[in-house]
Amino acid sequence: MMQSIVFIGGGNMTTSLISGLRHAGWSGDAITVVDHNADKRERLSEQYGVQTVAQAESSHLRAADAVVLAVKPQVMAETARALAPVFEDARPLILSIAAGIPLSALRRWLGADFAYVRCMPNTPSLLGVGATGLYADEVATTEQRQLADDIMATAGINAWVDDESLIDAVIATSGSGPAYFFAFMEAMIAGARDLGLDETAARELVLQTALGAARMATESGDDPATLRAKVTSKGGTTAAALNHFEAGDLDKLVAGAMHAASDRASELARDLSDG
């Protein structure tokens, strides 16, 4: 029997996950979206054939195997507290994809006797090429972990961590990571312009190079260090550029940036939890 899923919130990430689930063969009848916005409900219903409702009712939640909390972190406390009395005796798996909300806060707002999985997807998930970090609490069964994995795998690849505190490391790595690469692309485009290329040529060359490098890293079977060595001739142009990066201590700069992101994630989690 197809397991049923209720999404609380019908935004971009919900749309991405539903698209992936439907392509994976999930029945539209097994998916319900709860959202106050009538336009979102109509779009999701027409495009993906899922069930949509304006308010969560006990009948929807009682029948669900999994409930995905997909609202903005700033309204999670209000949403969870409103849902708590609606669950009645239902105890579905609860997946949270809200950044910065620790499970301790969800237990306080929603209830302590649920199985929880905290998920941290990133923005490329909207294209089905995302990276998601997941943490399951001790209540979640093997079957519930598999259900969470099946749901989130429709958006890309999954990586499980065995300590919730490591979600901050996931945020600093894959959650914020796309922006690091975008910033590097910006810098390369600016460098290409400074060398005399026009904007169009600079942009096209940089973006295609980034795409090609990513595909080589994911499809060649070699790790990035090996790939770097293969394209770096001693005394050549690539070596000259890499030596410049090394002189500027690129490794230390990147590590420092990621630590800053992780520390900020911890601060925001405390603020959101207290709020």
Output the known binding site.
8-13, 70-73
For 162, phi then psi, to 5°, come to: -105, 10
Q: How are beta strands 31-34 and 51-53 bridged, if at all?
A: parallel
**Range 224-257 burial, b when 16+ CB lie within 10 A, else e:** eeeeeeeebeeeeeeeeeeeeeeeeeeeeeeeee
**Which residues are paired to 85 by β-bridges?**
none
Name the residue type at position 3.
Q
Q: How far apart are CA 28 and CA 32, in angstroms?
A: 8
How many C-beta neighbours within 10 Å does residue 121 have? 25
**Which residues are paired to 116 by β-bridges?**
94
Binding residues for NADP(+), by number, are 8-13, 70-73
